[in-house]
Structure 1
Amino acid sequence: MSINLKLRLFKGKTHADGTHPIQLQFYLNGKEKRKGIYFCHAKDWDEKTSRVKSKVTNSAYINNLLSEKYAEYERELLKVLNGENQSTAFFEIKKELTLDDVMKLELDRFVNENKPMTHARINSYTNELRLYFNSANTYIKDIDLRWFEKYAAMLSNDLYSGTELIRKGNIGSTAQKKLKTIRRAIEKFSNFRIGQDIKDFKIPAKKSVKQKLTKEELLSLENLELEPDSLLFICRDIFFMQIYLRGCRIGSLLKAYSHQFNEGRYGAINSGGKNNVDSKLIPKAQVIVNRYIGKHDRLFPLFKFTEDPQKSEFENRKEEFRHKHSCTALVNNNLRVLAVKAGIKKPLSSHIARHTFARMAIDKINNPMVTMELLGHSSLAVHQQYLNDIRKEEVLDQAADDIFG
């Protein structure tokens, strides 16, 4: 006896990120049924094999999951059709989904896709929903625009117990990220169709001014007399090295090995194959490299994570992320001390190094295509917005001078 079971990409539903659900379609008691398994973009789906194309990230995991689910449903359908099992309970939805259910599924996805940083962020959102919004007892079918409005109000405001602050409100951009995450999880893992009113709902976000150091502030920081090999000395070198390496991100620099600095150049290959780095070391950068090279496995002695072969790849990446986070916090704490010593009245951090380089670049180079490459931005639109934000502080300062001058 044959069974009518097939995998298909259901293009009748499109998630917010442009993906469509991958479904198992079958018939039971003359009724069509569909079971969502995963999701992908239309361009990544192979109609001939009913699998995602091999070029897709984690395609092996996704295709293995599809094969396992297909085999599982095939076995159960044959049991019913051959009279071995009269129950069709396996194919029924066992309970109504709650918000907590779909957030757990979203967390599982990031474990399977080996994305511990994203998993950590979504896990914090999930715990917050459990604590303040009773997500375990909030059914997806009951979520409407009013629910999102209440959630947005909770996110945006400080929460007090009496006079004690127990939760500080999020800035607009962070709150908006949380809204988008929940909408995405609901769309991906439930049959609930989100209305246009919910899709259009947004939390106003004010763009923060991207602070950077002036030439005078950089000189003041550079001329500080510090104990060689002290933590303050090392953190200052890291900050200036970020600037000298085209606004290099702090995580990449902390993890950089000594052998990546060779013959007057710094090279780094990203795992995704995009935004690889091959940067010339200017003389000031070479001085810093010469100070540390060969003394440690990494150029700078702060990042000391090593993989544990007894742990899974996900757990190792998770521990690596935590270690990088603690190292970054250590650098930023010392940069704040340095700022006080140098008379800099800005919240000095590793991120300001990137903005400082960007300001220097756009002052010297009036070609956004070149500065886009220098800063490693993914598109001209993203880069143009970044440049506008970088220039915003100078525009506001000039406006104040014009008004009060």
Structure 2
Amino acid sequence: MNFQFQLRDYKKQNGTQAVRLRFFTSSKDIQYLDTGVSVLKTQWDEKKQQVKKNTLEEQLNASLNALLNEVKMLYYKNEGVSAKRLLQIYKNSKKYDSSSMLDFYQSIIDETRMKEAIRTAKTYQSYLDKLRTFSSYLSFTDISPLWAKDYELWLMKRGNKPNTIASNFKCLNAILNKAVKLGLIEKNPLKGYEIRTVNTKKESLTIEEITLFEQYDIAPRFKSMVLARDMFLFSFYTAGMRFSDVCKLKWENVTDTEIVYTMGKSEKRAGATRYIPITPKLSAILQKYKTNKKYVFPVLDKCKDKDIEGIEYTIFIANNKVNRAIKILAEHIGITKHVSMHIAKHSFASYAVKNEVDLFHISKLLGHTKLSTTEHYLRDFFQKEQADVMNKLFGK
């Protein structure tokens, strides 16, 4: 990397010209950085690369040398980067407070919120709030495996479950990796620190229990429970459509033969658009709500399209209400399993496995991009199937 100071051609009203730091690796990779120093052309020594014949020349030259050394140090720490990348690293080092990790964490959350990933931002914010409670000030240099162990124990004492703790650390790792990428720190201080997760059993309803849900007689006056059941069954018959996507589904997504929508959680990746054929079960549910003008289900009818936070908050409240309603419904039916909207996805997966649908098609129906994700997701279901096979082979 070559570094050189030079005067800009442009002259200011007072006749001075700005001094820029020019650094480059080739004729196609040249960047310029404003030094904040401006002098007359007669006050600049191009050969010695310094200010001359200026009453403040000692102070100005010290400022230029400090800047040059700072940029060079960043380059040495990130050896091999292009001039363009080096300029980005330098700007990021000035944009963020490199001492306060908590401030940087907050800036990433704010950026996430600006990108309208509201639910992600809220989740990250809850993790940061815990971190602030544990330590009101935290620099990047404070973080270490020993610090992580103390934080892990603190979370455990507060009643956080292992998987919740793992989620907190997963987010923290992502933040630290971001800091590395932006050039704030050289390496992730938690790299290699192991946070264990616990495999949780995936509850699912059998097709017989799904049928009980369908056939249970709910009095028409209990409109919220009827809506909750319909949304739950709709999710099951659409191969586990997420609750947020069920809420956001519009009639424009529904044709005579299929439902076409983009998964909100994965909208930026390939394969995020799903095509669900309208089966008789789905058709019956859709017919009940055909008078709705915009959304299939009336959850977001009062929300404005551009009120992203309002929409996410409404979905959050609705999800809690629906989960309470279907839990009560399950108790009336006599189902003791922990029933929620998310169990609809598990139930579909279990039903597909039992009907010998091949892994590739299950993966596509669930909206997974990798078969390995589906294999991990279906691990509990396959284990139960293995037990059934053994019982058939050797049971009485």
Q: TM-score normalized by structure 1?
A: 0.70
Q: Partners of 2:339 and 2:187 in 1: how far apart?
A: 42
Q: Percent identity?
A: 22
- Return the match for 2:311 from 301, 304, 320: 320
Q: 1:396 offset after TM fit, Å?
A: 7.0
Deviates more, 1:138-147 or 1:322-331: 138-147
* Residue number in structure 1 paired with 2:284: 287
Q: 1:125 offset after TM fit, Å?
A: 1.2
| CA displacement 1:112-163 (0-9 Å, x = unmatched) | 43322221111111111112x1232x222122211000111122x243xxxx
Alignment of 1:300-319 (within 5 A): 300-307=297-304, 316-319=307-310
- Return the match for 1:211 from 182, 189, 203: 203
* Residue number in structure 1 paired with 2:194: 202
Alignment of 1:103-182 (within 5 A): 103-131=105-133, 133-136=134-137, 138-155=138-155, 157-159=156-158, 168-169=159-160, 171-182=161-172
Deviates more, 1:216-225 or 1:267-276: 267-276
User: Is the alpha carbon distance of 1:6 and 1:174 closer, same or farther for their aligned partners in structure 2, counting shifts above 3 Å?
Assistant: farther
User: Is the alpha carbon distance of 1:26 and 1:382 closer, same or farther for their aligned partners in structure 2, counting shifts above 3 Å?
Assistant: farther
User: Is the alpha carbon distance of 1:359 and 1:147 closer, same or farther for their aligned partners in structure 2, counting shifts above 3 Å?
Assistant: same
User: Is the alpha carbon distance of 1:93 and 1:387 closer, same or farther for their aligned partners in structure 2, counting shifts above 3 Å?
Assistant: closer
Q: Partners of 2:94 and 2:275 in 1: how far apart?
A: 55
Q: 1:187 offset after TM fit, Å?
A: 4.0
Q: 1:295 offset after TM fit, Å?
A: 3.2
Alignment of 1:174-193 (within 5 A): 174-189=164-179, 191-193=184-186
Whether the 8 Å CA contact 2:236–2:344 is kept in 1: the answer is: yes
Question: Where in structure 1 are there 5+ consecutive unaligned residues?
Answer: 9-22, 37-41, 52-64, 74-90, 160-167
User: Is the alpha carbon distance of 1:384 and 1:94 closer, same or farther for their aligned partners in structure 2, counting shifts above 3 Å?
Assistant: closer
| CA displacement 1:85-116 (0-9 Å, x = unmatched) | xxxxxx98997612322212222331343322
Q: Partners of 1:99 and 1:224 in 2: how far apart?
A: 54
Q: Partners of 2:319 and 2:309 in 1: how far apart?
A: 15
Whether the 8 Å CA contact 1:267–1:277 is kept in 2: the answer is: yes
Q: 1:382 offset after TM fit, Å?
A: 0.7
* Residue number in structure 1 paired with 2:21: 4
User: Is the alpha carbon distance of 1:366 and 1:216 closer, same or farther for their aligned partners in structure 2, counting shifts above 3 Å?
Assistant: closer
SS at match of 1:277: strand
The aligned amino acid for 2:172 is I
**Does 1:337 find its partner at 2:328?**
yes
Whether the 8 Å CA contact 1:254–1:303 is kept in 2: the answer is: yes
* Residue number in structure 2 paired with 1:380: 371
* Residue number in structure 2 paired with 1:79: none
Q: Partners of 1:134 and 1:99 in 2: how far apart?
A: 11
User: Is the alpha carbon distance of 1:218 and 1:93 closer, same or farther for their aligned partners in structure 2, counting shifts above 3 Å?
Assistant: closer
Number of residues paired by the alignment?
330
Pairwise CA RMSD of aligned residues?
3.8
SS at match of 1:200: coil
Question: Where in structure 2 are there 5+ consecutive unaligned residues?
Answer: 1-6, 9-19, 26-30, 36-63, 75-79
Q: 1:401 offset after TM fit, Å?
A: 12
Deviates more, 1:293-302 or 1:210-219: 293-302
Q: 1:302 offset after TM fit, Å?
A: 2.3
SS at match of 2:276: strand
| CA displacement 1:365-396 (0-9 Å, x = unmatched) | 44211111111102111111112133345557
The aligned amino acid for 2:336 is K
Higher relative contact order (CA 8 A, sep 6+): 1
- Return the match for 1:299 from 274, 285, 296: 296
Deviates more, 1:108-117 or 1:325-334: 108-117
Give 1 or 2 for the bigger CA radius of gyration.
2
Q: TM-score normalized by structure 2?
A: 0.72
Q: Partners of 2:309 and 2:343 in 1: how far apart?
A: 26
Alignment of 1:261-276 (within 5 A): 261-270=254-263, 271-272=267-268, 274-276=271-273
User: Is the alpha carbon distance of 1:339 and 1:127 closer, same or farther for their aligned partners in structure 2, counting shifts above 3 Å?
Assistant: same
Q: Partners of 1:318 and 1:93 in 2: how far apart?
A: 27
| CA displacement 1:29-86 (0-9 Å, x = unmatched) | 15242799xxxxx9xx9x79x48xxxxxxxxxxxxx96xx97xx9xxxxxxxxxxxxx
Q: Partners of 2:339 and 2:356 in 1: how far apart?
A: 25
The aligned amino acid for 2:210 is L
Whether the 8 Å CA contact 2:118–2:312 is kept in 1: the answer is: yes
